[in-house]
Structure 1
């Protein structure tokens, strides 16, 4: 994008690509705190949830200061755990549904996509499929990246679709759709599937711990890509030079990891203050107690989780927005450039891959804020909009100061 649109756009894209991660991490560890409290059978206040999220954010930062070779096992094990969890959700959910009756009506009419539902869930669907570019960061460790990376992208896309559909089917077979929690629905579904026996409770704890581990592995995996990206931007004088500092022993990004922890801390303190007036989580003391009995009490939990999650998700979608136009322009203007992998299918596929994803990304950003046909949520818009605006302003200040310092340096040399 820097080659196509210039240094200023490249700097903004690098900033958005990194800051989305720093804003998204609190949502992940917010979820970590909720599920962890369920496993322990305790109830956490707003500030306690914020405290857990802050501590875990710093633990993550210290993990990402290690070199990639020594932490690759962590995301690899997390991928195995995710596959196990999603497979069990699907298989056990369908079994319980066939035995006791499905919690929701599942037929051709109910599973057929609708425009209304599509608009509502489009942002999350797009977000779930993002991150394929991170695999390119491991290209130096591959025997044949020219063949391995396209295979990994295609196979990864297919597997993600299969696992998400399987897990979704299992949850819908077990829980009425109106009682499913955005934040803790997975563990609640398992609780209903397994019942209240001693062995079942033990299995639920094991799966809960596996789920918590996958949250940690997710943020570590993303850090491998986004931290390196902002270091490169700093080395190229697009962002402050201080962000390029590496760990002396491991060679991993140092200052970037520290700032990840700082931003996560600020976000969770702010949202902890907003939600400190009420209870933060619904405890599952009875395996047959579902959320329908207390939807009103849990509203603050769902709202807070969605607010924090949206902060990172919207900035991530924004960072990708110019990616596909840049791809299209480079392929048309610089067609003779040798490339490791190319999109097959001629000009039709070229334009399709340049235009359609851009439209979907733009719609995803819009629908994160407002879905046509639904009530406009002013509180959500104000909370999330303020967070994003602050992030954008800070980015502009950093970029301005970096360019000013670079221009001053050039004038001094002349």
Structure 2
């Protein structure tokens, strides 16, 4: 096929004939332009996928309809690598920063606005807030307690300590139960009468058992019910065996017991003031039975004691209480400097080798402080069951004999102390 046939076919497609086609030579000499380097194409956007070009042959007549050419779609440009994520903040550090605004430098930059919920970072952490509130409450209570203690000290200093009681005060103590403390106290009370004087027995033990041993009927009233009620102690004394005057602890309700303990804690010389109101003389003897262990009642009794009798037994358990009782009795301001402390081994069973060995241990440990040894004797328990006074029996038992000897030793000490006071004056 020659060129003429090609032109005829082309004209036929457009509804024309080849006869109307005339070819002529151009008068202009066209020169080819030197190739121009194409500029670097910018990455085509995804929307520019198609381009339209008009193709014309320089030697042919222009066509009435341009040809359409399709270029391949430009590849999507690679997205720039995202910046590395910030390192996680440790939990401990994050908790510390909760109470402060979030640092803007910790937020990664972005081209689009961030939509965030209100952050709790501007609020203090709940656990820390609760801890601070509890600390404030504790501190307030400590300040209040200190203020009350200082006020109690000021009131005590304003009232001052009353004058020393003229009577001889014997305090019976023990750090261990079951050693026969109350039984021994009752026996001593019935045998400590001085010529021309009275013997008073005061029960500071909440067990309220001293009245059994002294033959006094149980009553509701006692030191607790009389406290703060305007009643004087000497008006409520009840007679017992051998003329002993007893002031029982009494049966106290919760309110009365709380008021009594409060009075003892608030006033260190509470018992001294009570004895001072009883107008006791130099021939009077006061014997105080205290509760077992270290209590407010014991502290009040030691404050007025002239003689302290520590009751123990010849066994290992009692031996282990010697160090604690010594620390208690030798503590500053625990008792008057003029008071004396002695030990009594009670309920001693001479038939047992172990008891004899333990007694030897006590003797070596206590030395001159061991004042007496009271034998184990069932007569005391039987006398309590029958309501009799064991100390007034026609034939005293071995235990009663030991108690009598102990009472005589205390009487000698009373006379010696009286003579020393007279010489001091």
Larger Rg: 2
TM-score, normalised to structure 2, is: 0.20
Q: Give the structure with the higher percent strand.
A: 2
TM-score, normalised to structure 1, is: 0.21
Q: Give the structure with the higher percent helix.
A: 1
